[in-house]
Amino acid sequence: MCIDKYSPPEMLPYVSHDRENALRLAAQERFEMMTGSQRKNRNQRRTLK
């Protein structure tokens, strides 16, 4: 999470927000791969969009 050092939320709200969402998505996919429930959650994510 050293990316937060280079783009603090106060200076780049939109960029850091997109980067935060990307980091959260990557962490979620990594967690789903570890738990083995990636296929089920991928379908749920499609219905949420």
pLDDT, residue 25, reads 86
pLDDT, residue 44, reads 66
Q: Which one-letter DSSP state was computed for residue 1?
A: -
Residue 35 confidence (pLDDT) above 50 = yes
Residue 17 confidence (pLDDT) above 60 = yes
Is the pTM above the cut of 0.85?
A: no
Residue 24 banded pLDDT, cuts 50, 70, 90? confident
Q: What average pLDDT does this structure show over 20-34?
A: 84
pLDDT, residue 2, reads 47
Q: What is the DSSP string of 1-49?
A: -THHHHS-TTT-HHHHHHHHHHHHHHHHHHHHHHHT-HHHHHHHHHHH-
